[in-house]
């Protein structure tokens, strides 16, 4: 028999028991749809998270106070403005392009009855470049603002939207932050949302003002130092230069460091390893449902072999060889699972698209990614499931004794 | 003297049912000539079914020799036996054994598929159905046909590969007497026309009367009578 006839016969035999075939296929449909959707969601989540980390800026290093690796060094000297200035020395750290000390905290901003709780960063002018902030209007914080401890603020679009219901013509208006009046000098261009707090849900103020008016910090102390290396390749050199400068200044060249440097790459690596685990976990769970679908196929094929024992006997009587019977039943089980696979891909795609558009209506920048690799894998895997779980029933059919099979009622 | 299409010598068949050995055939010797019509009769448990299964190459003898159409088929493996059944034996069953999902044409064509014939299958099947008087029913499925018509389809299927023998197991057992008679006449007519050896297994003496030669089997041994 040629291939087309085999497929045709398998099809007509599946067609003879429509409801049963549909229900059996459903197991595979659900399994494959789950695998496709889960991989799509995992990939989408990974993209979103990695984009957010990249969205912070490029070639960045972050210096934090303290050392997570040590069990609480007794003498932690805080990071200071002087540390930041020392790192900024071009001779001490030639691979560092920009340095931005930051004081951060959260606070409540108010404008004529509207209230918004948000993240507040006390920053220097370098921060704009390091974080790639664009302005839709106004100007960034200047050196004079820092020196004069000016009560001026830049608003992220989320904050502007909440307080004013608009994102334009806000320069010159006055809001209160933690009960103190601040004049708006600019609005930040939107950077997109994020799970770790939106890049747009922020207020930027001069670092000196943040220290003296909003957050209590020791003289000269800063929370984080943002550092931008001159290029992606120079991130390792910049890291060791910063390390050296800080060790000298904190006199920790012999003991443990009392600061920690993370590179953006560290965060990217960490995030992608976490999201990979997440993705494998999701598709593993989805894979189990595919397995269950396969067992469903085996079950129904066994029933079918028993029901059609007499037919198998007749086919053998008129000349069917073992191989013919084997192929006939394998064709049925693989056809079942392949159809299930195709339907599953379509459903998985629809589910991913629905989740994507749901996320879009919620303003979450999350887009599930159905990739060709996943589709290919799902088709291959579902057909393999049909073949694998069809082998036992088909073999049982092929090995029936013709005399016994013909006598079967 | 015509050639013997079936030569059986000292055939035995022993079934082992646990500890007990059941001797279904105890040394059967039988020759059947090309074109002969023969009936095999015997009560149930006589070894009649066993003999028929071996004649039809559905089963192998425990000992003895069976030569079918010049080929020793006593010790072939399953696939070789399947080939012999496909090429040399046409089966007609009491309950027709048609595939109910397939049309008459597809049923008749099936042995050609297993024979690996690719061309003209439909035309051959069509012709076979015309030969049994069902040229106008080729696209009907078995449930849409009467018992007699279904048995005609089965006969067309049995003949499609030009077998050496037709083995009919109670071919009229499920039919009323009128269709039964028609089926018998059809079988005898085909024998006359094509010279196909016809072996009818039955317990009905009226059917056995149609055949010139009757083999009685009792307790695993045979006894012949001619009419």
Q: A18-55 and A322-361 helices cross at what angle (nearest 10)? A: 40
Tell me which residue range forms the domain holding B177.
36-48+76-226
Residue B84: give its domain's CATH number. 3.40.50.300
Closest Cα in chain B to A1: B113
DSSP strand pairing (A96-111 vs A224-229): antiparallel
- What proportions of chain A, in percent to the nearest 5, are helix, strand and coil? 55, 15, 25
Per-residue pLDDT of A232-268, as tens digits, reads: 888 888 998 998 888 888 877 666 778 888 888 888 8
- Residues 6 or more apart whose Cβ sits within 8 Å of residue A59: A97, A228, A229, A230, A231, A232, A234, A235, A264
Per-residue pLDDT of A98-134, as tens digits, reads: 999 999 999 999 998 889 899 999 999 999 988 888 8
Find the distance separating the first CA and the last CA of chain B, reported in whole Å: 19
**Mean of all residue pLDDT scores within chain A:** 87
Residue B171's nearest CA partner among B25, B24, B39 is B39
Per-residue pLDDT of B83-124, as tens digits, reads: 999 999 999 999 999 998 889 999 999 999 999 888 888 999
A1–B113 CB contact, under 8 Å: yes
In chain B, residues with a C-beta closer than 8 Å to the C-beta of A16 are: 101
Per-residue confidence band for B19, with pLDDT thresholds at 50, 70 and 90: confident
Question: Is residue B8 situated within a structural domain?
Answer: no
Question: Is residue B125 situated within a structural domain?
Answer: yes
Which among A318, A322, A403 has the least Cβ separation from residue B91?
A318
Segment A40-69 mean pLDDT: 82
Per-residue pLDDT of A180-231, as tens digits, reads: 999 999 999 887 655 445 678 899 999 999 988 888 887 788 999 999 998 8
Per-residue pLDDT of A149-174, as tens digits, reads: 999 999 998 899 889 988 888 899 99
Question: Is residue B17 situated within a structural domain?
Answer: no
CA-to-CA distance for B33 and B38, rounded, in angstroms? Answer: 10
Question: Is residue B1 situated within a structural domain?
Answer: no
Structural domain tally of chain B?
1
Per-residue confidence band for A68, with pLDDT thresholds at 50, 70 and 90: low
Question: Token pair for residue A65?
Answer: 């106070």
ipTM attached to this prediction: 0.93
A317–B79 CB contact, under 8 Å: no
Segment B157-164 mean pLDDT: 93
Per-residue pLDDT of A338-394, as tens digits, reads: 999 999 999 999 999 999 899 888 777 788 888 888 888 888 888 888 889 999 999
Q: What is the pTM of this model?
A: 0.75
Percent of chain A surpassing pLDDT 90 = 38
Q: Would you state the pLDDT for residue A191?
A: 74
Question: Is residue B174 situated within a structural domain?
Answer: yes
Which among A311, A316, A402 has the least Cβ separation from residue B99?
A311
Q: Would you state the pLDDT for residue B201?
A: 93
Q: Would you state the pLDDT for residue A195?
A: 45
Q: Would you state the pLDDT for residue B227?
A: 61
Q: Would you state the pLDDT for residue B204?
A: 86
């Amino acid at each position: 028999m040629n291939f087309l006839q085999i497929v045709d016969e398998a099809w007509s035999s599946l067609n003879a028991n429509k409801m049963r075939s549909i229900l059996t296929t459903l197991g595979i449909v659900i399994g494959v749809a789950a695998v496709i959707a889960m991989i799509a969601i995992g990939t989408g989540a990974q993209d979103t998270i990695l984009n957010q980390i990249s969205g912070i800026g490029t070639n960045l290093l972050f210096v934090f106070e303290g050392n997570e690796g040590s069990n609480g060094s007794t003498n932690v000297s805080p990071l200071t403005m002087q540390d930041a200035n020392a790192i900024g020395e071009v001779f001490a750290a030639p691979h560092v392009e920009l340095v931005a000390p930051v004081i951060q905290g959260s606070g409540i901003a108010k404008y004529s009855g509207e209230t918004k709780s948000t993240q507040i960063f006390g920053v220097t002018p370098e921060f704009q470049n390091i974080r790639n902030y664009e302005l839709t209007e106004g100007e960034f914080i200047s050196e004079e603002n820092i020196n004069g401890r000016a009560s001026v603020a830049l608003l992220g679009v989320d904050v502007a939207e909440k307080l004013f219901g608009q994102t334009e013509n806000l320069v010159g208006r006055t809001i209160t932050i933690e009960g103190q009046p601040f004049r708006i000098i600019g609005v930040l261009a939107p950077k997109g949302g994020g799970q770790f707090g939106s890049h747009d849900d922020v207020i930027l103020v001069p670092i000196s003002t943040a220290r003296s008016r909003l957050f209590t910090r020791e003289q000269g102390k800063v929370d984080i130092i943002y550092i931008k290396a001159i290029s992606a390749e120079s991130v390792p050199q910049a890291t060791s230069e910063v390390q050296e400068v800080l060790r000298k200044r904190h006199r920790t060249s012999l003991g443990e460091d009392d600061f920690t440097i993370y590179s953006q790459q560290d965060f990217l690596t960490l995030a992608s390893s976490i999201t990979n685990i997440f993705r494998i976990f999701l598709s593993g769970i989805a894979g189990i449902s595919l397995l269950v679908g396969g067992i469903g196929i085996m079950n129904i094929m066994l029933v079918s072999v028993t029901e059609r024992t007499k037919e198998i006997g007749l086919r053998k009587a008129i000349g069917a060889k073992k191989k013919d019977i084997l192929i006939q039943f394998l064709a049925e089980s693989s056809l079942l699972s392949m159809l299930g696979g195709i339907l599953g891909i379509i459903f998985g795609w629809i589910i991913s698209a629905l989740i994507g558009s749901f996320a879009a209506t919620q303003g979450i920048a999350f887009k599930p990614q159905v990739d060709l690799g996943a589709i290919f894998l799902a088709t291959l895997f579902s057909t393999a499931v049909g073949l694998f779980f069809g082998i036992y029933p088909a073999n049982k059919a092929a090995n029936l004794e013709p005399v016994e099979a013909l006598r079967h009622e | 003297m015509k050639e013997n299409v079936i030569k059986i010598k000292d055939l035995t068949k022993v079934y082992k049912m646990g500890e007990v050995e059941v001797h279904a055939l105890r040394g059967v010797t039988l020759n059947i000539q090309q074109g002969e019509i023969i009936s095999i009769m015997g009560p149930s448990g006589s070894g009649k079914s066993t003999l028929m299964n071996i004649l039809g190459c559905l089963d192998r003898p425990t000992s003895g020799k069976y030569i079918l159409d010049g080929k020793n088929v006593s010790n072939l493996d399953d696939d070789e036996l399947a080939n012999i059944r496909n090429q040399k034996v046409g089966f007609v069953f009491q309950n027709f054994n048609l595939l109910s999902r397939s049309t008459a044409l597809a049923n008749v064509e099936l042995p050609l598929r297993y024979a690996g014939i690719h061309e003209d299958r439909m035309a051959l099947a069509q012709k076979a159905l015309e030969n049994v008087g069902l040229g106008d029913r080729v696209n009907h499925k078995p449930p849409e046909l009467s018992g007699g018509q279904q048995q005609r389809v089965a006969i067309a299927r049995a003949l499609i590969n030009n077998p050496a023998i037709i083995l009919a197991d109670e071919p009229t057992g499920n039919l009323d007497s009128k269709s039964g008679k028609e089926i018998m006449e059809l079988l005898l007519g085909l024998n006359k026309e094509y010279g196909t050896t016809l072996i009818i297994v039955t317990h009905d003496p009226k059917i056995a009367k149609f055949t010139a030669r009757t083999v009685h089997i009792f307790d695993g041994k045979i006894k012949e009578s001619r009419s």
